[in-house]
Amino acid sequence: MLPLLLLWCFVAVDGGREEFPGVGPLLVTKESRRTVVSTASGEITAVDVRDGYGGAYHLQFITMAPSSLFLPVLLHTDMVFYVQSGSGRVTYIEEDENEETEHIDVVRGDIYRLEKGSIFYVQSHPDPTRDNLRIHAIFNAVDTDNTKELPAAAYSNISDLVGGFEDKVLQMGFGVSEETILAIKWVEKPPSIVPFPHTSKTVSFGALRGIRSLAADDEEVTNKKKTKAFNFFEAKPDGENCYGWSTALSHKDLKTLKGSNFGAFMVMNLSRSSMMGPYWNPKATEIAIVIQGRGMVEAVCIGKPSGETKFKATEGDVVVVPRLHPVTQMSYNDEGFILVGFSSLVGKNRPQFFAGKRSALRTLDREVMATVFNVLTAIVENLLAARVESTIYLRARRVPRNSKGR
Protein backbone atom coordinates (compact mmCIF):
# COMPACT_ATOMS: atom_id res chain seq x y z
CA MET A 1 0.00 0.00 0.00
CA LEU A 2 1.21 3.45 -0.77
CA PRO A 3 2.05 5.54 2.26
CA LEU A 4 0.03 8.68 1.85
CA LEU A 5 0.41 10.18 5.25
CA LEU A 6 1.93 8.97 8.40
CA LEU A 7 -0.44 9.14 11.27
CA TRP A 8 0.31 6.42 13.65
CA CYS A 9 -0.28 5.83 17.25
CA PHE A 10 2.59 6.75 19.49
CA VAL A 11 1.65 4.60 22.41
CA ALA A 12 4.56 2.47 23.42
CA VAL A 13 5.77 1.20 26.72
CA ASP A 14 8.52 3.23 28.33
CA GLY A 15 10.24 0.88 30.74
CA GLY A 16 9.62 1.50 34.42
CA ARG A 17 6.84 4.04 34.16
CA GLU A 18 3.88 1.74 33.95
CA GLU A 19 1.39 4.31 35.15
CA PHE A 20 2.15 6.56 32.21
CA PRO A 21 2.65 4.58 29.08
CA GLY A 22 5.63 6.16 27.38
CA VAL A 23 5.20 7.85 24.06
CA GLY A 24 8.57 7.52 22.42
CA PRO A 25 8.75 10.32 19.93
CA LEU A 26 6.17 12.54 21.64
CA LEU A 27 8.12 12.96 24.84
CA VAL A 28 11.85 13.08 25.40
CA THR A 29 12.52 13.44 29.09
CA LYS A 30 15.29 15.55 30.53
CA GLU A 31 16.86 12.39 31.91
CA SER A 32 17.17 10.85 28.46
CA ARG A 33 19.18 13.73 26.99
CA ARG A 34 22.69 12.75 26.04
CA THR A 35 25.61 14.72 27.40
CA VAL A 36 27.81 16.29 24.73
CA VAL A 37 30.12 18.37 26.91
CA SER A 38 30.56 18.54 30.66
CA THR A 39 33.20 20.75 32.29
CA ALA A 40 33.49 22.75 35.47
CA SER A 41 32.38 25.80 33.51
CA GLY A 42 29.37 24.33 31.81
CA GLU A 43 27.52 21.55 30.12
CA ILE A 44 25.84 20.77 26.81
CA THR A 45 23.14 18.15 26.52
CA ALA A 46 21.30 17.19 23.36
CA VAL A 47 18.14 15.59 22.04
CA ASP A 48 17.08 14.53 18.55
CA VAL A 49 13.44 14.46 17.49
CA ARG A 50 11.44 13.70 14.39
CA ASP A 51 8.03 15.01 13.47
CA GLY A 52 6.73 12.05 11.55
CA TYR A 53 6.51 14.09 8.34
CA GLY A 54 10.13 13.81 7.32
CA GLY A 55 11.31 16.63 9.57
CA ALA A 56 14.23 15.99 11.90
CA TYR A 57 15.43 18.37 14.58
CA HIS A 58 18.38 18.54 16.90
CA LEU A 59 18.11 20.39 20.21
CA GLN A 60 20.96 21.47 22.45
CA PHE A 61 20.77 22.71 26.02
CA ILE A 62 23.83 24.82 26.78
CA THR A 63 24.59 25.80 30.38
CA MET A 64 27.44 28.20 31.17
CA ALA A 65 28.63 29.35 34.60
CA PRO A 66 29.33 33.09 34.93
CA SER A 67 32.58 34.23 33.29
CA SER A 68 32.62 31.33 30.84
CA LEU A 69 33.23 31.12 27.12
CA PHE A 70 31.57 28.82 24.63
CA LEU A 71 34.37 28.56 22.10
CA PRO A 72 33.79 29.65 18.48
CA VAL A 73 32.13 27.17 16.17
CA LEU A 74 31.14 27.06 12.51
CA LEU A 75 27.41 26.45 12.22
CA HIS A 76 26.45 23.65 9.81
CA THR A 77 22.75 24.43 9.90
CA ASP A 78 20.34 27.18 10.88
CA MET A 79 20.01 27.61 14.64
CA VAL A 80 17.23 29.26 16.61
CA PHE A 81 17.75 29.71 20.33
CA TYR A 82 16.24 31.35 23.35
CA VAL A 83 17.74 32.23 26.68
CA GLN A 84 16.29 30.20 29.50
CA SER A 85 18.17 31.99 32.29
CA GLY A 86 21.09 34.32 32.93
CA SER A 87 22.64 36.76 30.52
CA GLY A 88 25.57 36.96 28.19
CA ARG A 89 26.87 38.01 24.84
CA VAL A 90 26.65 36.15 21.54
CA THR A 91 29.28 37.23 18.99
CA TYR A 92 28.93 36.06 15.42
CA ILE A 93 30.03 36.53 11.82
CA GLU A 94 27.46 35.86 9.17
CA GLU A 95 28.96 35.12 5.81
CA ASP A 96 26.81 37.68 4.04
CA GLU A 97 28.01 40.43 6.29
CA ASN A 98 30.89 42.74 5.64
CA GLU A 99 33.50 40.67 7.39
CA GLU A 100 33.05 42.09 10.81
CA THR A 101 31.74 40.52 13.95
CA GLU A 102 28.38 41.45 15.29
CA HIS A 103 27.23 40.80 18.80
CA ILE A 104 24.07 40.73 20.73
CA ASP A 105 23.67 40.89 24.50
CA VAL A 106 21.00 38.48 25.56
CA VAL A 107 18.90 38.07 28.68
CA ARG A 108 16.29 35.60 29.85
CA GLY A 109 13.47 35.30 27.33
CA ASP A 110 15.41 36.49 24.30
CA ILE A 111 15.01 34.65 21.03
CA TYR A 112 17.53 34.87 18.28
CA ARG A 113 18.61 33.04 15.20
CA LEU A 114 21.93 32.39 13.50
CA GLU A 115 22.35 31.39 9.88
CA LYS A 116 24.02 28.24 8.71
CA GLY A 117 27.59 28.97 7.74
CA SER A 118 27.95 31.54 10.55
CA ILE A 119 30.72 31.47 13.12
CA PHE A 120 29.70 32.35 16.66
CA TYR A 121 30.81 32.20 20.27
CA VAL A 122 29.10 32.97 23.58
CA GLN A 123 30.29 34.64 26.74
CA SER A 124 28.33 34.45 29.96
CA HIS A 125 28.04 37.46 32.22
CA PRO A 126 31.13 37.84 34.40
CA ASP A 127 29.24 38.59 37.61
CA PRO A 128 29.60 35.41 39.72
CA THR A 129 26.38 36.16 41.59
CA ARG A 130 24.30 35.87 38.43
CA ASP A 131 22.39 32.85 37.25
CA ASN A 132 24.05 30.44 34.90
CA LEU A 133 23.49 31.39 31.28
CA ARG A 134 21.25 28.70 29.83
CA ILE A 135 20.60 28.64 26.13
CA HIS A 136 18.18 26.25 24.42
CA ALA A 137 18.84 25.87 20.73
CA ILE A 138 17.18 24.03 17.88
CA PHE A 139 18.90 23.04 14.67
CA ASN A 140 17.11 21.71 11.64
CA ALA A 141 18.58 18.61 10.17
CA VAL A 142 19.24 18.28 6.49
CA ASP A 143 18.87 15.31 4.26
CA THR A 144 21.96 13.28 3.79
CA ASP A 145 22.84 10.44 1.51
CA ASN A 146 23.09 7.83 4.14
CA THR A 147 21.45 8.95 7.29
CA LYS A 148 21.75 5.75 9.18
CA GLU A 149 25.44 5.23 9.62
CA LEU A 150 27.20 8.54 9.73
CA PRO A 151 28.19 10.74 12.60
CA ALA A 152 26.28 13.94 13.12
CA ALA A 153 27.25 17.43 14.05
CA ALA A 154 25.45 20.74 14.23
CA TYR A 155 28.69 22.70 14.20
CA SER A 156 32.48 22.36 14.08
CA ASN A 157 35.09 23.79 16.40
CA ILE A 158 37.36 26.39 14.85
CA SER A 159 40.42 24.59 16.12
CA ASP A 160 39.35 21.45 14.27
CA LEU A 161 38.93 23.41 11.05
CA VAL A 162 42.40 24.88 11.29
CA GLY A 163 44.11 21.94 12.90
CA GLY A 164 42.91 19.54 10.25
CA PHE A 165 45.49 20.69 7.73
CA GLU A 166 49.06 19.49 7.63
CA ASP A 167 51.66 21.67 9.30
CA LYS A 168 53.32 22.56 6.02
CA VAL A 169 50.04 23.60 4.46
CA LEU A 170 49.18 25.81 7.40
CA GLN A 171 52.64 27.30 7.37
CA MET A 172 52.21 28.24 3.71
CA GLY A 173 48.58 29.20 4.03
CA PHE A 174 49.05 31.55 6.95
CA GLY A 175 52.51 32.63 5.84
CA VAL A 176 54.08 32.06 9.25
CA SER A 177 57.00 30.14 10.64
CA GLU A 178 57.00 26.46 11.48
CA GLU A 179 57.27 27.40 15.17
CA THR A 180 54.00 29.35 15.09
CA ILE A 181 52.15 26.47 13.49
CA LEU A 182 53.62 23.95 15.91
CA ALA A 183 52.61 26.19 18.80
CA ILE A 184 49.08 26.42 17.43
CA LYS A 185 48.64 22.84 16.48
CA TRP A 186 50.49 20.73 18.96
CA VAL A 187 48.95 21.70 22.25
CA GLU A 188 45.98 20.09 23.90
CA LYS A 189 42.72 21.66 22.76
CA PRO A 190 40.38 23.01 25.42
CA PRO A 191 36.82 21.70 25.83
CA SER A 192 33.91 23.61 24.26
CA ILE A 193 33.15 25.63 27.39
CA VAL A 194 36.02 27.14 29.36
CA PRO A 195 36.50 29.79 32.07
CA PHE A 196 37.03 33.22 30.54
CA PRO A 197 37.68 35.93 33.09
CA HIS A 198 36.17 39.27 32.33
CA THR A 199 38.65 41.90 31.29
CA SER A 200 37.59 45.37 30.32
CA LYS A 201 39.52 44.94 27.13
CA THR A 202 37.62 42.01 25.79
CA VAL A 203 34.09 42.44 26.97
CA SER A 204 32.15 45.18 28.55
CA PHE A 205 28.61 44.01 28.58
CA GLY A 206 26.04 46.58 27.84
CA ALA A 207 23.66 47.19 30.66
CA LEU A 208 21.90 43.89 30.72
CA ARG A 209 18.56 45.06 31.92
CA GLY A 210 16.65 44.32 28.81
CA ILE A 211 16.76 43.77 25.18
CA ARG A 212 16.55 47.37 24.07
CA SER A 213 19.80 48.31 25.74
CA LEU A 214 22.06 46.25 23.59
CA ALA A 215 25.64 47.26 23.36
CA ALA A 216 24.86 50.81 24.28
CA ASP A 217 28.09 51.59 26.09
CA ASP A 218 30.23 49.27 24.09
CA GLU A 219 33.79 50.24 23.41
CA GLU A 220 34.02 47.99 20.41
CA VAL A 221 33.09 50.07 17.44
CA THR A 222 32.88 47.22 15.00
CA ASN A 223 29.26 46.53 15.81
CA LYS A 224 27.80 49.11 13.50
CA LYS A 225 24.49 47.47 12.90
CA LYS A 226 22.35 47.14 15.97
CA THR A 227 20.89 43.70 15.87
CA LYS A 228 17.95 42.96 18.06
CA ALA A 229 16.74 39.85 19.68
CA PHE A 230 13.11 39.49 20.62
CA ASN A 231 12.06 38.87 24.19
CA PHE A 232 9.11 36.60 24.52
CA PHE A 233 8.22 37.89 27.94
CA GLU A 234 7.60 41.22 26.27
CA ALA A 235 5.43 39.81 23.48
CA LYS A 236 1.72 40.52 23.52
CA PRO A 237 -0.10 37.24 24.12
CA ASP A 238 -2.51 35.96 21.50
CA GLY A 239 -4.86 34.81 24.16
CA GLU A 240 -4.76 35.73 27.84
CA ASN A 241 -6.93 35.47 30.89
CA CYS A 242 -6.32 34.95 34.55
CA TYR A 243 -5.55 31.30 33.91
CA GLY A 244 -2.66 31.79 31.53
CA TRP A 245 -1.58 33.11 28.21
CA SER A 246 -0.11 31.88 24.98
CA THR A 247 1.79 33.49 22.17
CA ALA A 248 2.71 32.29 18.73
CA LEU A 249 5.22 34.39 16.89
CA SER A 250 5.71 34.11 13.16
CA HIS A 251 8.22 35.49 10.73
CA LYS A 252 6.19 38.66 10.73
CA ASP A 253 6.74 39.24 14.44
CA LEU A 254 10.33 38.08 14.53
CA LYS A 255 12.50 39.53 11.84
CA THR A 256 15.22 37.38 13.24
CA LEU A 257 13.39 34.25 12.13
CA LYS A 258 13.18 35.45 8.54
CA GLY A 259 14.85 33.07 6.18
CA SER A 260 15.08 30.29 8.72
CA ASN A 261 13.30 27.02 8.36
CA PHE A 262 11.48 27.57 11.60
CA GLY A 263 8.22 29.31 11.08
CA ALA A 264 7.34 30.41 14.55
CA PHE A 265 8.19 30.44 18.16
CA MET A 266 5.57 29.97 20.79
CA VAL A 267 5.08 30.24 24.50
CA MET A 268 2.32 28.67 26.51
CA ASN A 269 1.95 29.69 30.11
CA LEU A 270 -0.70 27.86 32.08
CA SER A 271 -1.62 28.88 35.62
CA ARG A 272 -2.48 26.17 38.14
CA SER A 273 -5.50 24.01 37.31
CA SER A 274 -5.64 25.28 33.76
CA MET A 275 -5.93 23.73 30.36
CA MET A 276 -4.93 24.63 26.82
CA GLY A 277 -7.15 23.36 24.06
CA PRO A 278 -7.88 20.76 22.89
CA TYR A 279 -6.60 22.02 19.54
CA TRP A 280 -4.60 20.92 16.55
CA ASN A 281 -1.97 22.57 14.38
CA PRO A 282 -3.05 22.40 10.72
CA LYS A 283 0.35 23.02 9.19
CA ALA A 284 3.16 22.79 11.70
CA THR A 285 4.66 20.47 14.24
CA GLU A 286 5.27 21.84 17.73
CA ILE A 287 8.56 21.08 19.42
CA ALA A 288 8.25 22.48 22.91
CA ILE A 289 10.44 22.46 26.00
CA VAL A 290 8.93 22.59 29.48
CA ILE A 291 10.69 25.50 31.09
CA GLN A 292 8.77 25.55 34.34
CA GLY A 293 6.42 23.43 36.35
CA ARG A 294 4.79 20.25 35.20
CA GLY A 295 1.64 19.15 33.52
CA MET A 296 -0.20 16.55 31.54
CA VAL A 297 -0.28 16.29 27.76
CA GLU A 298 -2.93 14.28 25.99
CA ALA A 299 -2.69 13.75 22.25
CA VAL A 300 -4.95 11.92 19.83
CA CYS A 301 -3.65 9.50 17.23
CA ILE A 302 -5.65 10.20 14.12
CA GLY A 303 -4.37 7.28 12.07
CA LYS A 304 -5.10 3.65 12.51
CA PRO A 305 -5.18 2.40 15.11
CA SER A 306 -6.55 5.57 16.57
CA GLY A 307 -6.43 6.22 20.26
CA GLU A 308 -5.09 8.71 22.72
CA THR A 309 -1.77 8.93 24.45
CA LYS A 310 -1.25 10.76 27.69
CA PHE A 311 1.87 11.61 29.59
CA LYS A 312 3.28 13.83 32.30
CA ALA A 313 5.90 16.40 31.31
CA THR A 314 8.16 18.24 33.73
CA GLU A 315 10.82 20.91 33.50
CA GLY A 316 13.41 20.14 30.87
CA ASP A 317 11.33 17.62 28.96
CA VAL A 318 10.80 18.02 25.22
CA VAL A 319 7.26 17.54 23.92
CA VAL A 320 6.65 16.93 20.21
CA VAL A 321 3.15 17.37 18.81
CA PRO A 322 3.03 16.33 15.16
CA ARG A 323 0.99 18.29 12.65
CA LEU A 324 -2.76 17.63 12.65
CA HIS A 325 -2.75 15.61 15.87
CA PRO A 326 -5.26 16.98 18.37
CA VAL A 327 -3.65 17.74 21.71
CA THR A 328 -4.33 19.36 25.04
CA GLN A 329 -2.00 20.52 27.78
CA MET A 330 -3.11 20.69 31.40
CA SER A 331 -1.43 22.05 34.51
CA TYR A 332 -1.83 20.48 37.93
CA ASN A 333 -3.69 22.08 40.78
CA ASP A 334 -0.55 22.93 42.69
CA GLU A 335 1.72 24.19 39.94
CA GLY A 336 1.85 26.17 36.71
CA PHE A 337 3.08 24.74 33.42
CA ILE A 338 5.16 26.78 30.99
CA LEU A 339 6.22 25.48 27.59
CA VAL A 340 8.36 27.32 25.10
CA GLY A 341 8.91 25.97 21.68
CA PHE A 342 9.51 25.97 18.01
CA SER A 343 7.16 25.33 15.14
CA SER A 344 8.34 23.61 12.05
CA LEU A 345 6.70 25.81 9.54
CA VAL A 346 5.23 25.37 6.57
CA GLY A 347 3.39 28.59 5.88
CA LYS A 348 1.18 30.24 8.43
CA ASN A 349 -0.02 27.94 11.17
CA ARG A 350 -2.98 28.90 13.28
CA PRO A 351 -4.02 26.44 15.96
CA GLN A 352 -7.57 25.18 15.52
CA PHE A 353 -9.54 24.85 18.72
CA PHE A 354 -12.30 22.38 19.48
CA ALA A 355 -14.28 24.60 21.81
CA GLY A 356 -15.01 28.27 22.40
CA LYS A 357 -15.92 31.07 20.09
CA ARG A 358 -12.82 30.55 17.94
CA SER A 359 -13.69 26.90 17.42
CA ALA A 360 -13.64 25.60 13.88
CA LEU A 361 -16.28 23.03 14.79
CA ARG A 362 -18.63 25.74 15.94
CA THR A 363 -18.91 27.23 12.49
CA LEU A 364 -20.16 24.00 10.98
CA ASP A 365 -23.85 23.44 10.46
CA ARG A 366 -25.50 22.08 13.62
CA GLU A 367 -27.54 19.42 11.83
CA VAL A 368 -24.40 18.20 10.11
CA MET A 369 -22.59 18.08 13.44
CA ALA A 370 -25.49 16.23 15.01
CA THR A 371 -25.16 13.67 12.23
CA VAL A 372 -21.40 13.45 12.78
CA PHE A 373 -21.90 12.48 16.40
CA ASN A 374 -25.15 10.64 15.85
CA VAL A 375 -26.92 12.69 18.52
CA LEU A 376 -29.74 15.19 18.76
CA THR A 377 -29.05 18.70 17.56
CA ALA A 378 -29.66 20.01 21.06
CA ILE A 379 -26.72 18.04 22.42
CA VAL A 380 -24.39 19.43 19.77
CA GLU A 381 -25.69 22.91 20.50
CA ASN A 382 -24.88 22.38 24.11
CA LEU A 383 -21.43 20.96 23.36
CA LEU A 384 -20.30 23.74 21.09
CA ALA A 385 -21.88 26.68 22.85
CA ALA A 386 -20.73 26.03 26.40
CA ARG A 387 -17.30 27.59 26.19
CA VAL A 388 -16.66 31.22 25.34
CA GLU A 389 -12.89 31.12 25.51
CA SER A 390 -11.12 28.77 23.16
CA THR A 391 -7.71 28.80 24.59
CA ILE A 392 -7.07 28.71 28.30
CA TYR A 393 -9.53 28.19 31.07
CA LEU A 394 -9.89 26.98 34.54
CA ARG A 395 -10.59 23.32 34.46
CA ALA A 396 -13.86 22.29 36.01
CA ARG A 397 -11.95 19.93 38.25
CA ARG A 398 -8.43 18.68 38.72
CA VAL A 399 -7.00 15.88 36.65
CA PRO A 400 -8.51 12.88 38.37
CA ARG A 401 -5.96 10.94 40.39
CA ASN A 402 -7.36 7.60 39.48
CA SER A 403 -7.67 8.08 35.74
CA LYS A 404 -6.59 5.13 33.64
CA GLY A 405 -3.72 6.96 32.03
CA ARG A 406 -1.67 7.37 35.17
Residues 160-219 that bind a copy of itself (CB under 8 A): 160-162, 164-166, 168-176, 180, 183-184, 187-190, 194, 196, 199, 201-202
Window contacting a copy of itself (CB under 8 A); options: 113-121, 228-236, 241-249, 285-293: 113-121
| Choice between 26 and 380, CB closer to a copy of itself | 380
Residues 6+ apart with CB under 8 A from 231: 107, 109, 110, 111, 210, 211
The one segment of 50-58, 105-113, 210-218, 235-243 that binds a copy of itself by CB under 8 A? 50-58
Site for a copy of itself in 246-265 (CB under 8 A): none
Burial class (CB in 10 A: 0-12, 13-18, 19+), 79: buried
37 binds a copy of itself (CB under 8 A): no
Query: Does residue 237 interact with a copy of itself by CB under 8 A?
Result: no
Radius of gyration of the chain (CA): 24
Binding a copy of itself (rule: CB under 8 A), the pick from 206, 210, 237, 405 is: 405
| Contact code string over 307-326 relative to a copy of itself, x by CB under 8 A | xx-x-------------x-x
Binding residue for a copy of itself, selected from 36, 56, 130, 251, defined by CB under 8 A: 56
Q: Which stretch binds a copy of itself (CB under 8 A): 10-18, 80-88, 110-118, 211-219?
A: 110-118
- CB of 240: closest distance to a copy of itself in angstroms? 18
Site for a copy of itself contains 233 (CB under 8 A): no
Nearest distance, CB of residue 231 and a copy of itself, angstroms: 26
Q: Does 397 bind a copy of itself (CB under 8 A)?
A: yes
Is residue 36 a contact residue for a copy of itself (CB under 8 A)?
no
> According to CB under 8 A, which one of 147, 207, 234, 315 is a site residue for a copy of itself?
147
Q: Give the number of residues in contact with a copy of itself, rule: CB under 8 A.
A: 135
In degrees, rounded to 5, the angle at the alpha carbon of residue 297 between the alpha carbons of residues 295 and 300 is 170
Q: Determine, following the binding rule CB under 8 A, whether residue 62 of this chain makes contact with a copy of itself.
A: no
CB of 233 to a copy of itself, least distance (A): 27
**Residue of 135, 141, 287, 289 interacting with a copy of itself (CB under 8 A):** 141
Q: x/- contact string, 67-106, with a copy of itself (CB under 8 A)?
A: --x-xx-x-xx-------------x-x-xx--xxx-----
Which window, 52-60, 106-114, 209-217, 260-268, contacts a copy of itself (CB under 8 A)? 52-60
Among the listed residues 237, 278, 294, 335, the single contact to a copy of itself using CB under 8 A: 278
Q: Does 221 bind a copy of itself (CB under 8 A)?
A: no
Binding a copy of itself (rule: CB under 8 A), the pick from 18, 234, 334, 367 is 367
Task: State the SS3 of the chain.
Answer: CCCCCCCCCCCCCCCCCCCCCCCHHHEECHHHCEEEEEECCEEEEEEEEECCCCCEEEEEEEEECCCEEEEEEEECCCEEEEEEECEEEEEEECCCCCCCCEEEEEECCEEEEECCCCEEEEEECCCCCCCCEEEEEEEECCCCCCCCCCCCCCEEEHHHHHHCCCHHHHHHHHCCCHHHHHHHHCCCCCCCEEECCCCCCCCCCCCCCCHHHCCCCCCCCCCCCCCCCEECCCCCCCEEECCEEEEEEECCCCHHHCCCCEEEEEEEEECCCEEEEEEECCCCCEEEEEEEEEEEEEEEECCCCCEEEEEEEECCCEEEECCCCCEEEEEECCECEEEEEEEECCCCCCCEECCCCCECHHHCCHHHHHHHHCCCHHHHHHHHHCCCCCCEEECCCCCCCCCCCC
